[in-house]
Every structure is written in structure tokens, then in C-alpha cells.
Amino acid sequence: MKSSRLLILTGLILGTSLSSLHAQSGKWQNLFNGKDLKGWKQLNGQAKYEVINGEIVGTTVSNTPNSFLTTEKNYGDFIFEVELFVDNAMNSGIQFRSESKPDFKDGRVHGYQMEVDPSDRAYSGGIYDESRRGWLYPLDINPKGQLAFKKGQWNKYRIECIGNSIRTWVNGVPTANLVDDMTPSGFIALQVHSIGKNDAPGKQIKWRNIRIQTEGLKPSKPDQIYVVNTIPNDLSPAEKTNGYSLLWDGKTTKGWIGAYKKSFPEKGWEIKNGELSVVKSNGGESTNGGDIVTEKQYGAFALKFDFKLTKGANSGVKYFVTLSEGNKGSAIGMEYQILDDENHPDAKMGKNDNRTLGSLYDLIASKKVPNAKRKIGEWNKGVIMVYPDNKIQYFLNGYKVVEFVRGSAEFNALVAESKYKNWKGFGMAPKGHILLQDHGDNVSFRSIKIKEL
């Protein structure tokens, strides 16, 4: 009797915890009747979709592009849930707010996708922009989310799209939090990914309990995972909840001054269309307007910033800048390198590529992730995470590219062999200014945000 009561009590507690995570809202509608594919249609590839034992089963076939079983209806704001079971050697995804238009790549399905990825990369629950912008929320930025997916088991997926807010969960664990306004409405689709020439066909993914809410929507409680916000200079409610604030307001020079100066530079910088840009001069360090720094100093923090390069451009974001070395060129500090690697000579200097894009300048080379790079003229998202324990991480477009601990034996050894070897205590100030570098090349910044840790 005691064991039965314990099981009942445990069930009640579990049910309460799950209901508190996701707010109870409108009525659920089934998108799959358990018998046939009524209400669905297939687009693009020729993978096999069939109903077996009350489940939709997708099977890979050779020599065909990505296949999509799409809803006949479009959905804008909604909450969607599904359970899925996938072969461990197969990639898949759930499209949402997606489209297929004759004038876009001959009808190719494009739009947001919640990833199904049983590989060791562990990106399940991340958000990919199919056939358009690529990864919007790779799970490097959310390590806890990478642990949510269970191989060889049924996994429960949840998507909440309410206005510009797009959030995902795997097995109740928040995996992605995206703010984006590119596509407000579209169909939902179950993907069977294409396979390589040497891959054997016949791998399967199964879906069941497919349901959606479209009215009376109530978002789940706020989570603390990283928020990717693609809307320029916008501070979303989720970012505010997580403690972020705008470090640049997108309009004025408020909060910023010239390095070694008492005011913002009178020349060399331009604010236009929500962008803060270095005016191109001669390509030299701090020879025109000069570097700009925050008036406030920071210790442990999370810094987000968007940046855009022109051809051959060089710049950087520095931190723990003390301005104590005297007014001689660019101020000293640890640097997140911003560079056109293909067209600027600095990329071939230093040691082992430690002056390339996303590197800890002159100390640690960034991890080279092909999908992390954007074309010149496109916006990039940079992140610098400085933790209270001195661990520091760099991210480039969602991918972690550098990690180190300042003050460690390894860090000190690198400094001793770098251009900073004669700077006593380099990078070890408890607090410092954040700096945007004027290297004489046209580079633009926007969406600069900070959270003190």
C-alpha cells in the first residue's frame, strides 16, 4: 500500500512540475488522425512517408533531395508538440513557418527548422534556417540543451511561436530561444533528410501525437538560456528578463567616449541607420577618430555585438582595457579579432592563425568552423563571455571558437611569447573598459548588449 501511495504521489508531483513549466492554454488540435496522411502533402524529395501502427514513418531513399511532409494549412502563432523516434544514423528536422514558392529556388522548402540530430554534434532542438540563412541557433551556445535529446528513445519536441518569439524544448528542456521576424507564418513539415551516395537507404524516423494550439496561447515561463535576437538594436523581453541591457542605444554616443579622451571623437565615427561605424581612413591604428570605450568598466560579463566587415577590413573588440599605458596608438586589452581573413595581411601574421577572425588576438587562434563564417558585407554575431572564475569564451555566429582561462599557466605562457610580453599583468585587471577599435577600415557595429555576471 505504501509503495502504491508513493507512486501516486510521485506522479502528482511530476505532473505538477511539468504543468508549471509550460503554461496551460488553449485547446489542442490533432494534426494527425493516426490512420492516414489526410491534411498533409509531400514536397521536394521522394522519401517514403506512410502510416504504420498509428505513427507517421519516414524512410530515406537514394538519389533524392530533402523531403518534406507538410501541412496543407499555414500557421502563424502557435504551440506545437510531437513525439519522435529517429535512427541514430539519420538527420531530420521539423519545419515551421516555412514556405515553398515557385520563384524561390524552384519551389524548394525554406524556413525555420527545429533540428533532429542524434549525432555526437548534439544539435537537437537547435534552430536552422533551411535553404536560407543557415544556423540561427546552434547549440554550442546552450550546452545544457545539448544533453536533452535521448538516443534510441522517443523524444518529445515542443515549439512555441508567438509574435517574434520562437522557443523550443526537447523533453521539457529549453533548447533554443530566438527572436526573429523574417517569416511570420507558414506550414509545418516533417523532414526526411537526403542521404549521401555511399549511405544505405532505409533508415527511419517516426512521429506520433502531433498536436497544435492556435488560440488562447500562453507562453511558457521564462528560461535562462541564451537568446539570439536578429532584430537590430532590439532588447527583447526575454533578454531583459535574463539581465541584458543595451550597451549602445542605436542612436547616440551616450555611454561611450574616445580612448584617452573626455568626450566622443569629433571625427572618424559615424552613426547612421542604427549602425555605429568606423569611417575609412588610412588603415592605421587610431590615426583618425581613434578607439572608443565605454564610460563604465566591467569585470565578469556576457557581451553580445553584431559586426559587419568591408573587404580587407580590420578591427576588434577589446576588454579589460585600463587606459593606463599612456596615449600611444590603440589602447591595450584582450581582443576579439575582427578581420577579413582573405584580404588583410594580418591574418597571416602572428602564430598559428592567432590573428584571424574570432581569435583571441595574438594569443589563441579561433576554431575554424566553415558554417560560422559570413560573406563580407553580411552581419555577424559575436559573443564574449567572461565568467567570475576567469574562464572566457568567444562565439562567432553561435559557434564556440575560443575558450581559455585568464591567469592560468597556459595563458601566461602564451602572453610571454606574444606582442604583450612586456605589459605587466596583461589582461588581469579586475575591471576594465570595453573598446571598439578604429583601425582605419570601414567596420560597422550594432545590437551591442551586456549582462554583468
Q: Could you report the per-residue pLDDT of 219-253, keeping only the tens digit for each?
A: 999 999 999 999 999 999 999 999 999 999 999 99
Q: Which domains does the chain have, with CATH numbers?
A: 22-213 (2.60.120.560), 243-452 (2.60.120.560)
Per DSSP (E only), the strands in 100-250 are 110-116, 127-130, 134-137, 155-162, 165-170, 173-179, 187-192, 204-213, 228-229, 245-246
- pLDDT value of residue 411: 97
The pLDDT of residue 432 is 97
Could you identify the residue written with the cell 541557433? 137
| pLDDT tens figures, 34-89 | 999 999 999 999 999 999 999 999 999 999 999 999 999 999 999 999 999 999 99
Query: In degrees, to the nearest 5, what angle opens at C-alpha 133 toward C-alphas 127 and 136?
Result: 30
CA distances from 402 to 269, 319, 364, 396, 439 (A): 29, 15, 7, 9, 23
According to the model, what pLDDT value does residue 9 have? 38
User: How far apart are alpha carbons 147 and 125 in whole angstroms?
Assistant: 10
The three-class DSSP label of residue 133 is: coil
* Tens digits of pLDDT across the chain (453 residues): 344 343 333 343 434 444 445 655 579 999 999 999 999 999 999 999 999 999 999 999 999 999 999 999 999 999 999 999 999 999 999 999 999 999 999 999 999 999 999 999 999 999 999 999 999 999 999 999 999 999 999 999 999 999 999 999 999 999 999 999 999 999 999 999 998 888 889 999 999 999 999 999 999 999 999 999 999 999 999 999 999 999 999 999 999 999 999 999 999 999 999 999 999 998 777 778 999 999 999 999 999 999 999 999 999 999 999 998 776 678 999 999 999 999 999 999 999 999 999 999 999 999 999 889 899 999 999 999 999 999 999 999 999 999 999 999 999 999 999 999 999 999 999 999 999 999 999 999 999 999 999
Beta bridge partners of 206: 57, 85
pLDDT at 3: 40
107 phi and psi angles, rounded to 5 deg: 90, 10
User: pTM above 0.85?
Assistant: yes
Write down the pLDDT at residue 330.
83
Determine the pLDDT at residue 288. 86
Q: Residue type for 25, please?
A: S
pLDDT at position 24, please?
55
Which pLDDT score is estimated for 285? 77
Give the CA count within 13 Å in the CB-facing half-sphere of 104: 12
- DSSP conformation letters of 317-384: EEEEE---S-SSSSPP-EEEEEE-TTT-GGGGSSSTTTTSTTSBTTTBPPP--GGG---TTSEEEEEE
- What is the distance between the terminal CA atoms of the chain, rounded to a whole angstrom? 49
- DSSP-derived pairing of the beta strands 228-229 and 173-179: parallel
